[in-house]
Amino acid sequence: MSYIDPATLQQEAIKLYSELKQKESELKNKERTAIPQQEMPAQDPNKRIKNMSEVTYGYTAEQAYVEAMRCIQCKNAPCVNGCPVGINIPEFVKSIQKGDYQESVDIIKQNSLLPAICGRVCPQEVQCQETCTVGKVLKDKNLSVAIGRLERFVADWEQEHGKQSVPKIKPETGKKVAIVGSGPAGITVAADVRREGHTVVMFEAFHKPGGVIVYGIPEFRMPKRIVDIEMKTLEKMGVEIRTNFLVGRTRKLEDLIEKDGFDAVFVGTGAGLPRFMNIEGENLVGVFSANEYLTRANLMKAYDRQKADTPIFQAKKIAVLGGGNVAMDAARMARRIGAEKVYIVYRRTEVEMPARIEEVAHAKEEGIEFHLLKNAKRILGDDKGCVIGMECISYELGEPDDSGRRRPVIIEGSETVLDVDTVIVAIGNDSNPLIRQTTKDLVTNKWGNIIVDENCKTSIDRIYAGGDIVLGAATVILAMGQGRTAAKSINSLLASR
């Protein structure tokens, strides 16, 4: 993937648009699969590393039409089975072909309340697009119909034209439900439960709602105005949002039912406990978890040095440990904050990287250097306790491990030193431990994830859970899928009481 300027992409799309419009009713499936996939227009890499604006611009109407015409409308619709919330993908794509964007977004919202968010950050390439027939025909899932980009297109159209509607609410029931955490799972439960007429109160530990979408994902990948719009929709539905409220400290989980009169509780507190390498030098000045680094930059806007109250470490050479989306986010944020050199250090190859292909490509365009088949052995410090380098060791790939990826094997005697003044650890997160530590009889597994049944019910009566606190660090759409399940269970419970 190489950068192409938006004007060139648009010229090509307009030409294809005109050609397809003339023969759209006559197109055969073979002709549809021959239509080239539409690239996403984006800012010039040399300019975007100096701003926090969204990297990608989104499809134009012509590009959306051309991409939608690639869909062959399979009768078995394998893409729907690949979607964790079961969106009717062929139908919403068909509506784009017709130019009826309102119908398209309405179809999506029957199953997903957050299309503008999911269209941007969900890993469609390993979900709906992985099963797409077009990708199978072309023998490359990266050439599947760009379902996520089309979802974003109609969601953005709805917001830009002020067409967002507030879901209908059934008559008030007098029942109360508490939502702990305002991330994707909590948002989904709040909306689905409120639709049934139940009173919903959402508790958020931070001063802004939105969960990981706000504190974890950078502005240049997920503009916060989009999250604000979704949260305001919840408030228009009558959902009360209480910020700076830390359940487990401000109030214990069981107190919400026993003392505050809630009929049910949903826990969606996420996976906010960062993992570290447990190597020498991790306590040096200049070593951060990606969670802290990104929270300071995203939620506290530390990148805006003139206005931010929360500072961020001014580094020149940064090593980011890890190969997932969080690692890419931290590396690309560091570049924008002013680092001269940013390195991704990952112990496998690019093929095994869990990060999205698009995020890796954007990182490379922005000058991030990849040190693959390497990992940190120890972090080096000076006599003041500050980072001055990182000793790395090289690896080769052995047999696959439990994850299906080839196991990295150390090459003895391969130590080298990387000249850095900052190290960001982005190797994953564990579940937030506070609820577990302060809630008697709540059953969790050895990783601290809350154990739930097929209805997302916990070991405690009337308490449900979902999202990363159950799954471990997962995706927005998987968290939403669990939210739908939990909401259905809660509504069923309240209907019987």
Lowest-confidence region among 1-15, 194-208, 295-309, 317-331:
295-309
- Name the range with the highest mean pLDDT among 104-113, 161-170, 176-185: 176-185
Give me the percent of the chain exceeding a pLDDT of 70: 100
Pairing of strands 199-203, 240-242: parallel
pLDDT at 416: 97
pLDDT at 130: 94
Residue with structure tokens 């869990």? 354
pLDDT tens per residue across span 16-71: 999 999 998 889 999 999 999 999 999 999 999 999 999 999 999 999 999 999 99
pLDDT tens per residue across span 101-158: 999 999 999 888 899 999 999 989 989 999 999 999 999 989 999 999 999 999 999 9
DSSP type of residue 144: S
Give the helix/strand (H/E) hosting 408: strand 406-410
pLDDT at 1: 61
pLDDT at 300: 86
pLDDT at 312: 86
Closest CA to 57 of 72, 73, 42, 68: 42
Q: What is the mean pLDDT of residues 299-320?
A: 87
pLDDT tens per residue across span 444-492: 998 889 999 999 999 999 999 999 999 987 888 899 999 999 999 999 9
Task: Please determine, looking at this structure, whether the domain spanning 176-272+431-495 carries the CATH number 3.60.110.10.
Answer: no
| CATH class in words for 274-429 | alpha beta
DSSP type of residue 352: G
- Mean pLDDT rounded to a whole number for the chain: 94
**Fold of the CATH domain 6-160:** Fumarate Reductase Iron-sulfur Protein; Chain B, domain 2 (1.10.1060)
pLDDT at 358: 93
pLDDT at 199: 98
pLDDT at 462: 97
What are the Cα distances from residue 414, in Å, to 238, 347, 377, 467? 60, 13, 11, 40
CB atoms within 10 A of CB 185: 36
Find how far residue 353's CA is from the centre of its chain: 16
Closest CA to 241 of 275, 196, 210, 214: 210
Matching fold, domains 6-160 and 176-272+431-495: no
pTM (2 d.p.) = 0.93
Q: What residue type is 164 in one-letter code?
A: Q
Comparing 316 with 272, which gets the higher pLDDT? 316
Domain residue ranges of the chain, discontinuous segments joined by +: 6-160, 176-272+431-495, 274-429
pLDDT at 219: 94
Q: State the pLDDT confidence band at 306, using cuts at 50, 70 and 90.
A: confident
Angle at 17 between CA 14 and CA 18, to 5 degrees: 90
- pLDDT at residue 384 greater than cutoff 80: yes
pLDDT tens per residue across span 246-271: 999 999 999 999 999 999 999 999 88
